[in-house]
Structure 1
Amino acid sequence: METITILKRDNQKATFNGEKIAVAIKKGFDSLESDKYTGDDANHVYNAVLEQIQEISKTEEYISIEHIQDLIEKELLRQNYIEVYESFSSYRNRRNESRKIFIAKQHKFLKAIEKLNQKEAIDADEKRENANVDGNSPMGMMLQFGSTVSKEFAKAYQMSEDYYEAHDSGQIHIHDMDFLPMGTTTCNQINLEQLFEHGFSTGHGHLRKPQDIMSYAALAAIAIQSNQNDQHGGQSIPAFDYYMAPGVLLTFKKQFKQRVYDFLEISNLLDTVDINAIIKHIDKVESLTLDLQEFSKFSDDAHTLKIIEKAYDKAVRVTDRITFQAMEAFIHNLNTMHSRAGAQVPFSSINFGTDVSPEGRMVVENYLKALDKGLGKGETPIFPISIFKVKEGVNYFPEDVNYDLFKLAIKVSAKRLFPNFSFIDSSYNKQYYKEGRYETEITYMGCRTRVMSDIFAPGEEVVTGRGNLSFTSINLVRLGIKHGILTNETPDFEGFYEELEHLMELVKFQLIERYKVQCSKSVSNFKFLLGQGVWMDSKSLKPKDNLHKVLKHGSLAFGFIGLAECLKALTGKHHGESAESQKIGLEIVGFMRDLADRYTEEEQLNFSLIATPAEGLSGRFVAIDRSIFGSIPEVTDRHYYTNSFHVPVYYDISIKDKIALEAPYHELTNGGHITYVELDGDTTQNLEAFEEVVRLMHDYEIGYGAINHPVDRDPSCGYTGIINETCPSCGRHEDEGDYGFERIRRITGYLVGTLDRFNDAKRSEEHDRVKHDL
């Protein structure tokens, strides 16, 4: 096709981009929210309009945007899409009017925004008044309106036109664009030890250093919630067991001292011992495991020593019970504490499993027991995402100290879908591990994010106080369609990689542009994340410092989606079907990783490659591509693209083969990754098979993995397990009573549940919708 010149509304000339026209037409169809129209309808209109534009270009020097929109309206009428025409025309008129108003007021608007950005957050107390409202309330709706306006502001004033056009046309997806003007970062690994050492402030007042496990757990939840309001992504605790262990020891000391005093008093032996010396001795205890013979120096009376031993046993049991209550409260808090003006509970994750101290082990055991118990009526907790860190010599082998906790984690995951499992011994994770330094143990955030390498601290990388700054995903499928066997006799790999590198360059500069917005903010904008020293080195910041000096430790990530459909379009087979396609898939992802590494050196920023969590993106890209290229079997004919590098869920493959195929991509995607395995039936009845899958992940060097299986619940009797049409516990049918059965499934790492009743067809459709994001 010959080059076509477009005359834009500001009289600037540009090269014609058919993808933009296809997107505009698709939006017209989408605006009706009707099931009777498909991407093929939009594609028919697009092809007809494209032919007319090509014909006009033969005789005209250029064609205006307004002329093209006239052609679209006429074609919609010609093809009898009356409703779509009316919607498209109405929207066009509204946009023309709003442009006039917007241009007239933009100077005043910018001045107001500038003034707002300069205003100290402390002056905005009124924003805190409705912090505990429900997500479906007017406040939740208000945030949705704000999100829409914020995106448009970012496009108009803070982004290069090339970036948002690439986003709107479906070449790339800029995640969390609505938060760009605020300069927020995505996620962070919170160092609770540092926060707890001197206490911290949430903006309303200072919280003292916690003195028992209940306070430790409560402040941990508060820290997560406070941090959520300073970020647009997730909050993670990288070493939950290590951080909570001191709280267990403090609780034990309190209980031991009280029990010794009480038991001696009851036995009328207080006057026979130096009780103050005993209490001082207990204050110096450094572990729950201690030599009770040490107390013989305070008394040589066997009866007195027996009473102290009895007090010790009681203190340990009471501490264990209190620790369970603390863990239960922690889980309940994270599923009920709302942040972001009440719009959602915090996106939270915790990593644990490697602390071998008695206190750390008590934390993990009781956390897993509380997770197994569920919420108040037995519901499966949605948060936090629990991640058990697997390590040889710590919990992997039967002779390891924490092997019993590994077995318990398997049992609970088989029932509650959590914990997931991360593998410290995978070579690309183990290279950073330093014995005795838990801050060097690989940890994950949310559904997959991983932040480890740091160009500013080579050889001394840690996970604490760091996170991802922002990420943008590339639509691999469109490149596969344009350069594959669908449009060429043989795959045009040269053209494919040339365009992929062009998009990588585009995204690199877009990420840097956003990074500059983030760095232009100040400590006052993030009074918890930076003001309380949660982000690495942020305690050194002065009020007017550029944030580059601390944010440089974070990562800027390139994401991708639809490798399977990309390979299908390129070669005719995806990586599950062909060893040659697997080789090409690894070359594509390796090419992206090599570029990210090169950019890291060139730009002196931590660029990384992440296997994108799809969320709504898997459906967004395919809808746009179908409008442009039509319905292509096994490429654009479904409602989704396969998430990241996963083997398609509809492809029949063994668990072992799936793990083996996906494992090599984990090493390449240093910004984050996950492999899911789907199991049918009640996994609690076959824990050996469940454990075998986890061990396969370990052996094939998976970095982060999870096992998905059905989790159903009858809200009437509280039964949790597999439910078909009738509850195995009370015999209630799904159509009986006020509620249907609750069905929990995992989507992109997060759990979702529904109480809606489905017929068989809809249930199958829902299952497919859930599985595609896995």
Structure 2
Amino acid sequence: MTTVQQIRKRDGRVVPFHENKIADAINKAFEATYKPGYEETAAKLAHEVASVLEVEGGNCPDVEHIQDIVERVLMDNGYVQTAKAYILYRSERNRAREMNTRLMKIYEDITFSSAKDSDIKRENANIDGDTAMGTMLKYGSEGSKQFYQMFVMKPEHARAHTSGDIHIHDMDFAPMGTTTCTQIDLIKLFDGGFSTGHGTLREPNDIASYAALACIAIQSNQNDQHGGQAIVNFDYSMAMGVRKTFQRIYRQNLARAVMLLEDRTDPESEIKANIQKIKEETGLYPKLEDCEEYFQAEMPFLLAHYSQDEAEMRKCQAFAHYRATKETDRATYQAMEALIHNLNTMHSRAGAQTPFSSINYGMDTTPEGRMVMKNIMLATEAGLGNGETPIFPIQIFRVKDGVNYNPGEPNYDLFQLAIRCSAKRLFPNFSFIDAPFNLQYYKEGHPETEIAYMGCRTRVIGNVVDPEREICNGRGNLSFTTINLPRLGIKAKGDINTFFESLDHMMDLCVDQLLERFEFQCRKKVKNAPFLMGQGVWIDSDQLDWDDEVREVLKHGTLSVGFIGLAETLKALIGEHHGESERARVLGLEIIGHMRARMDEESRKRNLNFSLLATPAEGLSGRFVKIDKEKYGVMEGITDRDYYTNSFHVPVYYPISAYDKIAIEAPYHALTNAGHISYIEMDGDPTENLDAFERVIRCMKEKGIGYGSVNHPVDRDPVCGFSGIIGDQCPGCGRHEDDGVPFERIRRITGYLVGTLDRFNNAKRAEEHDRVKHHV
């Protein structure tokens, strides 16, 4: 028997030494290399390990030392493959232990730190990490990430993520197999009503109901996905509610008018029946404009039932139409106001956060659609209950030649209102249908081909799976993974060929990881996403049964590789970023063009929608640079700040004109087909210079930007209610911020807004602090 009686564990505990445990571990290594039946050999090798320990003379060796001896004994006896299997097993066990230890430290941080002192509790600026539900969500999130890395994903993917080579987004939701986001088609969803799983809702018949159910649809869908929710056809869908509301109010007012002519019971029911009859026979109905043809169709009924005086009946119709127009407009404003208030107060995901919500509009030229757009922007201008700037929904105004871009076009006045509203409230953002990469899909008269963006920037329209349905409705991103471009630039040490070789290797890894996650998503069934799939929100999901896999319909979504820090990458490779030199601009486009070509190749090869994303960088911008700073030290222009630059953007600290920045960034929009956004920073109050604001938007359109917005200060004193630009002292009441209640300072982050800077993580605080204004 060996003289060794005890061993020391990694945590310092001293436990009895058992030779048979070494034999068991060696036998598992044999089995891992397809050598079953080696129990006797394993026992002999374990005894040899014990003999080495006895010769060494230590009476309490540590477990790491014993494992080193096991590896040496296996190698000395010629079991090279088995030794490799043992080393791999040991490495994975170490990784699992390290993850568990790290998780406990994370839990300690979540439990005992305030959000203002904990970056991890401010990882998502839309979650209040100090609340009970916010804390619980972080417990679940961090535990899920560790489980996925330890037991589900391939070790090489986990190592790449942990080391900072890549970032697998929304990893906490990966074990659930959820997808990222969807462009919800409300017209399809509302047709005949829908169910939230807790009850069935009838098809809405009033603009107030349309707006309320739009909020419920967003809230319900967010519980089935880990990303945001967008309404693809907000103007077109809400117009249907306006149309129904107008018809109801018209008949009510017509009934009141004819009742004034003669003493009779309320005739509304018979007027309603007649309106329905005329609609069925002629297709005519009361509407906001061009109602003369309907009036003529209605006149015989009025003359037969109420008065032989046609002039009197004309007055009744005119009165009813006038009143209905005014009352419908007011009802629409109230509905839009309620929608904004609801989306800024309603909760999803166990009550921990408001839904990430976006709406696309701008193209509906009908009077009803125009009324919707006018009132959503007027309600946004007015603000929330105390005049606060609404954080949600992210509003995206579609700009199109022939529709709203030039004077005299049907919605030009709404484009002007959008500029005014955005200058005050930061929304709407602007998308540009005429950008060549958006225009190629556009078919006039087919709203589903009008480009739609998620607020953060995500874009889904091309479809290699079904080229006949290159549309936005019912589609979204499945998952995305981001490459740490600056690290590849640092490691290449100026060798461009080495950089591209490393980039290809990293893209291989990302594609493999996305496919692994996609397979996990595909195995889910309709019942695992009862609203998204069960109510037919996702394209073609209404053709599936409750227990069917969602594999076939998920193919319409996108699998995206993203990137961050192009500017720092260029600095690492050639010493200049693309804001500084033409040489850097050429290389930058070559890098991103190379990545896009690879995604297109994967799409053709696999018949799946692989796409390239200009990654939104909220928490990631600080995570990568923190790891790289520790690994490579502080490098000027690369790791010397607390963040990497957002995707392909010119660095926020670099002085440049708005027009030059737009011109430099525009070509990257054409390459990043999974999504993109460009920002311009304006100083002062842009409501005082709307011409300059409009020139920026027009420059974006003319240069080929796909999706853009303008940032500017939006501050508010919650004590006196003053809104505008506030320095250290409120211009409204004169109080200073350090008097007590802090001022609210609305700023944009990854496409959406955050109400107070204390919700930003440290990296985004630093980035926001460094932003310079782009002169116009």
Cα distance in 2 for partners of 1:134, 1:360 equals 36
Cα distance in 2 for partners of 1:153, 1:207 equals 38
Query: Is 1:359 matched with 2:368?
Result: yes
Once the 2 structures are TM-superposed, how far is the Cα of residue 465 of structure 1 from its aligned partner?
A: 0.4
Cα distance in 1 for partners of 2:139, 2:552 equals 34
Cα distance in 2 for partners of 1:521, 1:271 equals 59
Q: What is the SS of the residue equivalent to 1:673? A: coil
Q: How is 1:227-376 mapped onto 2 (pairs within 5 angstroms)? A: 227-268=221-262, 276=270, 280-281=274-275, 284=279, 285=285, 287-292=287-292, 293-294=295-296, 295-297=298-300, 298-299=302-303, 300-376=309-385
Give the aligned partner of residue 419 of structure 1: 428
Q: Once the two structures are superposed, what CA deviation does each residue of 1:154-180 show, in whole Å capped at 9, x if it has no partner?
A: 112221001010000100000000100
Cα distance in 1 for partners of 2:328, 2:637 equals 57
Q: What is the SS of the residue equivalent to 2:191? A: helix
Paired letter, 2:463: D
Once the 2 structures are TM-superposed, how far is the Cα of residue 290 of structure 1 from its aligned partner?
A: 3.2
Give the aligned partner of residue 138 of structure 1: 132
Cα distance in 2 for partners of 1:271, 1:619 equals 71
Paired letter, 2:482: S
Q: CA RMSD in A?
A: 3.1
Once the 2 structures are TM-superposed, how far is the Cα of residue 718 of structure 1 from its aligned partner?
A: 1.3
Give the aligned partner of residue 56 of structure 2: none
Query: Is 1:768 matched with 2:769?
Result: yes
Query: Is 1:691 matched with 2:691?
Result: no
Do the aligned partners of residues 205 and 93 (structure 1) sit closer, same or farther apart at CA in structure 2, a change above 3 Å counting? closer
Once the 2 structures are TM-superposed, how far is the Cα of residue 771 of structure 1 from its aligned partner?
A: 7.7
Which one of the candidate residues 737, 744, 750 is aligned to 1:748?
750
Paired letter, 1:263: A
Which one of the candidate residues 526, 537, 545 is aligned to 1:523?
526
Once the 2 structures are TM-superposed, how far is the Cα of residue 66 of structure 1 from its aligned partner?
A: 14
Paired letter, 2:287: S
Q: What is the SS of the residue equivalent to 1:198? A: coil
Cα distance in 2 for partners of 1:345, 1:272 equals 45
Q: How is 1:225-624 mapped onto 2 (pairs within 5 angstroms)? A: 225-268=219-262, 276=270, 280-281=274-275, 284=279, 285=285, 287-292=287-292, 293-294=295-296, 295-297=298-300, 298-299=302-303, 300-484=309-493, 491-624=494-627
Cα distance in 2 for partners of 1:262, 1:296 equals 16
Once the 2 structures are TM-superposed, how far is the Cα of residue 93 of structure 1 from its aligned partner?
A: 13
The number of aligned residues is: 655
Once the 2 structures are TM-superposed, how far is the Cα of residue 766 of structure 1 from its aligned partner?
A: 7.4
Q: Is contact 1:135–1:344 with CA below 8 Å preserved after alignment? A: no
Give the aligned partner of residue 24 of structure 1: none
Cα distance in 1 for partners of 2:167, 2:95 equals 28
Instruction: Return 283-292 or 681-690, whichever deviates more.
Output: 283-292
Paired letter, 2:202: R
Give the aligned partner of residue 212 of structure 1: 206
Give the aligned partner of residue 664 of structure 2: 661
Paired letter, 1:574: H
Cα distance in 2 for partners of 1:757, 1:182 equals 27
Cα distance in 2 for partners of 1:763, 1:161 equals 30
Cα distance in 1 for partners of 2:495, 2:258 equals 85
Which one of the candidate residues 654, 675, 680 is aligned to 2:678?
675
Structure 1 runs not aligned, ≥5 long? 1-8, 14-59, 68-91, 103-132, 485-490
Give the aligned partner of residue 196 of structure 2: 202
Do the aligned partners of residues 216 and 98 (structure 1) sit closer, same or farther apart at CA in structure 2, a change above 3 Å counting? closer
Q: What is the SS of the residue equivalent to 1:386? A: strand
Q: Is contact 2:254–2:317 with CA below 8 Å preserved after alignment? A: yes
Q: Is contact 1:741–1:755 with CA below 8 Å preserved after alignment? A: no
Give the aligned partner of residue 155 of structure 2: 161
Q: Is contact 2:643–2:764 with CA below 8 Å preserved after alignment? A: no
Paired letter, 2:448: E
Cα distance in 2 for partners of 1:224, 1:557 equals 23
Q: Is contact 1:533–1:539 with CA below 8 Å preserved after alignment? A: yes
Which one of the candidate residues 647, 650, 666 is aligned to 1:647?
650
Once the 2 structures are TM-superposed, how far is the Cα of residue 755 of structure 1 from its aligned partner?
A: 7.8
Which one of the candidate residues 628, 633, 648 is aligned to 2:631?
628
Q: Once the two structures are superposed, what CA deviation does each residue of 1:253-281 show, in whole Å capped at 9, x if it has no partner?
A: 11111111112212327699998357623
Give the aligned partner of residue 86 of structure 1: none
Once the 2 structures are TM-superposed, how far is the Cα of residue 728 of structure 1 from its aligned partner?
A: 2.3
Paired letter, 1:670: N
Do the aligned partners of residues 261 and 286 (structure 1) sit closer, same or farther apart at CA in structure 2, a change above 3 Å counting? closer
Q: Is contact 1:613–1:643 with CA below 8 Å preserved after alignment? A: yes
Give the aligned partner of residue 191 of structure 1: 185
Q: Is contact 2:418–2:428 with CA below 8 Å preserved after alignment? A: yes
Q: Is contact 1:432–1:459 with CA below 8 Å preserved after alignment? A: no
Cα distance in 1 for partners of 2:672, 2:179 equals 20
Once the 2 structures are TM-superposed, how far is the Cα of residue 230 of structure 1 from its aligned partner?
A: 0.1
Q: Once the two structures are superposed, what CA deviation does each residue of 1:693-733 show, in whole Å capped at 9, x if it has no partner?
A: 00000000100000000000111221211111222233333
Q: What is the SS of the residue equivalent to 1:543? A: coil
Q: What is the SS of the residue equivalent to 2:395? A: strand
Once the 2 structures are TM-superposed, how far is the Cα of residue 349 of structure 1 from its aligned partner?
A: 0.3
Do the aligned partners of residues 698 and 222 (structure 1) sit closer, same or farther apart at CA in structure 2, a change above 3 Å counting? same
Cα distance in 1 for partners of 2:398, 2:409 equals 14
Structure 1 stretches of 4+ with a deviation exceeding 4 A read 9-13, 60-67, 96-99, 269-275, 755-758, 762-766, 769-772
Q: Once the two structures are superposed, what CA deviation does each residue of 1:77-131 show, in whole Å capped at 9, x if it has no partner?
A: xxxxxxxxxxxxxxx99947969xx9xxxxxxxxxxxxxxxxxxxxxxxxxxxxx
Cα distance in 2 for partners of 1:641, 1:340 equals 30
Do the aligned partners of residues 728 and 595 (structure 1) sit closer, same or farther apart at CA in structure 2, a change above 3 Å counting? same
Cα distance in 1 for partners of 2:757, 2:163 equals 36
Structure 2 runs not aligned, ≥5 long? 1-24, 31-74, 88-93, 105-126, 280-284, 304-308
Cα distance in 2 for partners of 1:713, 1:766 equals 21
Cα distance in 2 for partners of 1:335, 1:548 equals 34
Once the 2 structures are TM-superposed, how far is the Cα of residue 476 of structure 1 from its aligned partner?
A: 0.5
Q: What is the SS of the residue equivalent to 2:467? A: coil
Q: Once the two structures are superposed, what CA deviation does each residue of 1:603-647 show, in whole Å capped at 9, x if it has no partner?
A: 111000000000110110001111111000111010000010000
Q: Is contact 1:740–1:755 with CA below 8 Å preserved after alignment? A: no
Q: Is contact 1:189–1:465 with CA below 8 Å preserved after alignment? A: yes
Once the 2 structures are TM-superposed, how far is the Cα of residue 137 of structure 1 from its aligned partner?
A: 3.1
Q: Is contact 2:652–2:770 with CA below 8 Å preserved after alignment? A: no
Cα distance in 1 for partners of 2:148, 2:764 equals 39
Do the aligned partners of residues 639 and 756 (structure 1) sit closer, same or farther apart at CA in structure 2, a change above 3 Å counting? closer
Cα distance in 1 for partners of 2:100, 2:408 equals 70
Q: Is contact 2:420–2:687 with CA below 8 Å preserved after alignment? A: yes
Q: How is 1:712-731 mapped onto 2 (pairs within 5 angstroms)? A: 712-731=715-734
Cα distance in 1 for partners of 2:324, 2:627 equals 63
Do the aligned partners of residues 277 and 256 (structure 1) sit closer, same or farther apart at CA in structure 2, a change above 3 Å counting? closer
Cα distance in 2 for partners of 1:603, 1:379 equals 48
Q: Is contact 2:391–2:752 with CA below 8 Å preserved after alignment? A: yes
Cα distance in 1 for partners of 2:95, 2:556 equals 47
Do the aligned partners of residues 94 and 228 (structure 1) sit closer, same or farther apart at CA in structure 2, a change above 3 Å counting? closer
Do the aligned partners of residues 437 and 627 (structure 1) sit closer, same or farther apart at CA in structure 2, a change above 3 Å counting? same
Q: Is contact 1:746–1:770 with CA below 8 Å preserved after alignment? A: no
